[in-house]
Structures are given as C-alpha cells and as structure tokens.
Amino acid sequence: MFKLDNKIAIVTGGGSGIRKAIALLFARQGAKVYVLEVNEEAGNDTLTEIQKEGGKGSLISCNVADQKAVKSAFEGIYQNDGKIDVLVNNAGIAHVGNVLNTSEDDFDKLYQVNVKGVYNCLQAGVYFMLKAGGGVILNMASVASVVAVKDRFAYSMTKGAVLTMTMSVAKDFVDQNIRCNCIAPGRVHTPFVDGFLARNYPGQEQIMFEKLSKSQPIGRMGKSEEIASLALFLCSDEAGFITGSNYPIDGGFITLNA
C-alpha cells in the first residue's frame, strides 16, 4: 500500500524540514522526485540523501514566485518524463507579527512566495496534468488557515489563501481526474523552529521549546516524518476518493484548544 512506483512527483521547497521529509519518503516509495528549491545547497543535500538510499530524483533551481521559471521547470519535467503525477506545493516562508508591526515589504514578500508561488505551481501543474490525463495535488496549509494564531497576521493571510485555492482547484477539475487536497499542520519541530528560538530567545531555547511544545494539546511538537506520512497517503492511489479536503495534523490544536 501507498506505493508511488513509476510516479513523477514534484516537491517544491524540498530542501529542509517537512518538505525534505516528504521528498525523501516519496522517493523511498518509488517516485521519481523533482525537488524545486531556490536554495541549491539545501536542495542538493536532499537529492544526495535520495540517491544514497537508491531513489530517483533531480534538483531544479527555481524560485516559485517567478512564474516564467516555474513554467520552464514544469515544461522541462513534462518533456523529460511525459507526465506529472504528483505536485506537492510546499515552498513557503514564515513571519511573526500583528497587523501593526507587519511591514509592507514583509507582507508583499509573504504574498509573493506563499500565495503567488502556490498559484504559479498550481497553474503549471494543472496544465500538464490535464495533458497527461490527471494527477494529484497536495498544498501545504496550516492550522492558521482556519483558527486565529497570535502574531501570525500575514502568515495566516497566506495560508487562508492556500486553503481556498485548494478547494477551487478541486471543484474546477474534479471531473478531469485531478484531485487536490491540503494539509494543515500545527507546530512541527523543524530547523525553522530552532532558528526562531536562537534568534529571539538566546540562552532560553530549551525553556521556550518546552513552552511551545506544550501549546499543542498532545504535549509535543509534530515530527516532519509524521506530516510526510499523511502527505504520502493523500498522494497515493489509496486516497483516490479524497479531494477538496483539508487535513489537520496538529496534536489536537484546532479542536481541543477551541
């Protein structure tokens, strides 16, 4: 079950954290994984791990906010492999701030990557999936898509957009063999969390880590590998009856904190 043999999968931002875990797992399950990453060093690290494990993959340097670059990348993949089976829209950036201390530059940057970047990849992905007879799309939303999270004004805006874009694509192409879903993670322990704590709480990293962990009702942060497992299921043939859905994976954050 949950095999991706002979599937061509694109994972955007596959260089670290959840994105890297998804790329590695998909390759282990038989997919040929194209890692689209603006950070070539990080992307190469992921590709090296894929190849060490005997998987198939390739790195494409790409800024998802650049529509021409995205179209070129997707066209190259389609010409090389004749299809695109799976697209995981994972590239994104975070931001901490409320409406008063979020600068226009910060807002615009988040929009360009988290909203326009997803749009660019959705447009290219749907186009080539239709040419090949269908496919599966998974977008990375957030608990911030559906509930208020303190000091995440601009970030929440972008993830709300991801949620509604997911539903729109699912509705528009449900009769053309394209499924589209999204995942809404809670707080997950990634390099971003460690960097955030080091920058903002020097000397208090462990204390703040425990505090953030306990903000999840289950008592800990999620693991990247746990998010990747849900992504694998939703992109597999076993999930063929699922589209237009948002899957919280949040340690009870949305429901049990209500």
Q: Are residues 77 and 142 in the same domain?
A: yes
CA distance 31 to 3: 8
Active site residue 155: yes
Please give the tally of structural domains in the chain. 2
What is the value of pTM for the model shown? Answer: 0.94
Q: Are residues 54 and 42 in the same domain?
A: yes
For residue 255, is it within any domain?
A: no
Which tens digit of pLDDT belongs to each residue from 35-59?
A: 999 999 999 999 999 999 999 999 9
Which tens digit of pLDDT belongs to each residue from 10-40?
A: 999 988 899 999 999 999 999 999 999 999 9
For residue 256, is it within any domain?
A: no
Output 53-59 pairs: Cβ under 8 A, ≥24 positions apart: 53/24, 53/27, 53/28, 55/24, 55/27, 55/28, 56/27, 56/31, 56/32, 57/23, 57/27, 57/32, 57/33, 58/32, 58/33, 58/34, 59/34, 59/35
Residue from 99, 154, 106, 117 nearest 12 by CA: 117
For residue 162, is it within any domain?
A: yes
Q: Are residues 116 and 209 in the same domain?
A: no
Q: How many residues does the chain have?
A: 258
Residue 219 pLDDT > 90: yes
Identify the CATH number of the domain in which residue 238 sits: 3.40.50.720
Which tens digit of pLDDT belongs to each residue from 65-113?
A: 999 999 999 999 999 999 999 999 999 998 989 999 999 999 999 999 9
Q: Are residues 133 and 239 in the same domain?
A: yes
The predicted model gives 210-221 an average pLDDT of 90
pLDDT at 258 (0 to 100)? 59
Q: Are residues 207 and 133 in the same domain?
A: no
CA distance 103 to 99: 8
Q: Are residues 24 and 139 in the same domain?
A: yes
Instruction: Specify the amino acid at residue 123.
Output: Q
Residue from 207, 209, 211, 214 nearest 257 by CA: 214
DSSP three-state, residue 53: coil
One DSSP character per residue, 100-168 reads TT--HHHHHHHIIIIIIHHHHHHHHHHHHHHHHT-EEEEEE--GGGTS--TTBHHHHHHHHHHHHHHHH
Q: What is the mean pLDDT of the chain?
A: 95
CA distance 18 to 216: 18
For residue 3, is it within any domain?
A: no
Which tens digit of pLDDT belongs to each residue from 137-175?
A: 999 999 999 999 999 999 999 999 999 999 999 999 999
For residue 54, is it within any domain?
A: yes
For residue 60, is it within any domain?
A: yes
CA distance 98 to 107: 11
* Other Cβ atoms within 10 Å of 41 Cβ, number: 8
Domain span at residue 126?
Answer: 8-186+224-249
Q: Are residues 92 and 206 in the same domain?
A: no
The predicted model gives 217-243 an average pLDDT of 97
- Active-site residue, selected from the candidate residues 34, 78, 155, 247: 155
pLDDT at 15 (0 to 100)? 84
Q: Are residues 80 and 160 in the same domain?
A: yes
Q: Are residues 86 and 150 in the same domain?
A: yes
Q: Are residues 214 and 232 in the same domain?
A: no
For residue 86, is it within any domain?
A: yes
Q: Are residues 73 and 195 in the same domain?
A: no
Distances (CA, A) of 83 to 10, 72, 128, 144, 253: 11, 15, 7, 33, 38
Which tens digit of pLDDT belongs to each residue from 184-197?
A: 999 999 887 888 78
Contact 9, 32 (CB under 8 A): yes
For residue 2, is it within any domain?
A: no
Q: Are residues 114 and 98 in the same domain?
A: yes
